[in-house]
């Protein structure tokens, strides 16, 4: 459960969901699964399809949490400055897999902000009961 002193006083919290980039990570579908959870826990949710949302200083000052699912994109210096300023001021930053670790791979300052990067996703294999290797992403029948 997410709780804070602000909620007990009735103060609304704001979450900004920034999603987009490579469609292989299904950014809209993935974040749509989390939006109801955020709302159920007292967040008013804003959704943006571009890191340009980070450049709005007034909006970022009123943002309590950024949920990012943006893969293989680019971020401009003024956009990154807005995100970095918000995080330094106490805004939470959350994400998963390539939606945060492979968002803006060309920006060393962004990688410093999140503390790392996604190097690559290796094709995985698993062994079936017959000893035949197959990709773990294959569908199983039976």
Let me know if residue 140 belongs to a domain: no
Residue 39 domain flag: yes
pLDDT tens-digit series, residues 24-65: 889 999 999 999 999 999 999 999 999 999 999 999 999 999
Give the model's pLDDT for residue 102: 83
Is 30 within 8 Å of 99 (Cβ atoms)? yes
- Give the chain's residues under pLDDT 70: 1-10, 116-142
* pLDDT of 120: 61
**pLDDT value of position 76:** 97
What's the CA gap between 7 and 3, in Å, rounded? 7
Residues facing residue 94 across a β-bridge: 67
In a domain, 133, yes or no: no
* Residue 93, in any domain of the structure: yes
**Residue 99 counted as domain residue:** yes
Whether the Cβ atoms of residue 51 and residue 83 lie closer than 8 Å to each other: yes
In a domain, 87, yes or no: yes
Give the pLDDT confidence score for residue 7 in this predicted structure.
46
Own/partner pairs, 121-124, CB within 8 angstroms, 24+ separation? none
Q: Is 70 inside any structural domain?
A: yes
Query: What pLDDT does 117 receive?
Result: 66
Question: What per-residue confidence (pLDDT) applies to 6?
Answer: 44
Q: What range does the domain containing 93 cover? A: 12-119
pLDDT at 49: 97
CATH number, domain at 79?
3.40.50.2300
- Per-residue pLDDT at 124: 61
Per the listing, tokens 């809209």 go with: 28
Using CA atoms in the order 37, 41, 43, 49, what is the torsion angle rounded to 10 degrees? -10
Position 75 in a domain? yes
Q: How many domains does the chain have?
A: 1
């Amino acid at each position: 459960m997410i709780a804070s002193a602000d909620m007990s006083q009735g103060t609304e919290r704001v979450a900004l969901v920034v999603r987009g980039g490579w469609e292989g990570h299904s950014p809209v579908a993935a974040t749509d699964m989390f939006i109801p959870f955020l709302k159920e826990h007292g967040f008013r949710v804003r959704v943006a399809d571009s890191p340009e949302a980070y450049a709005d200083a007034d909006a970022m000052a009123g943002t309590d949490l950024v949920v990012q699912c943006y893969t293989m994109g680019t971020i401009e210096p003024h956009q990154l400055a807005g995100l970095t300023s918000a995080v330094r001021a106490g805004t939470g930053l959350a994400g998963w897999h390539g939606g945060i670790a492979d968002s803006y791979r060309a920006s060393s300052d962004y990688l410093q902000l999140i503390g790392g990067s996604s190097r690559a996703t290796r094709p995985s294999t698993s062994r079936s009961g017959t000893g035949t290797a197959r990709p773990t992403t294959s569908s199983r029948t039976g």
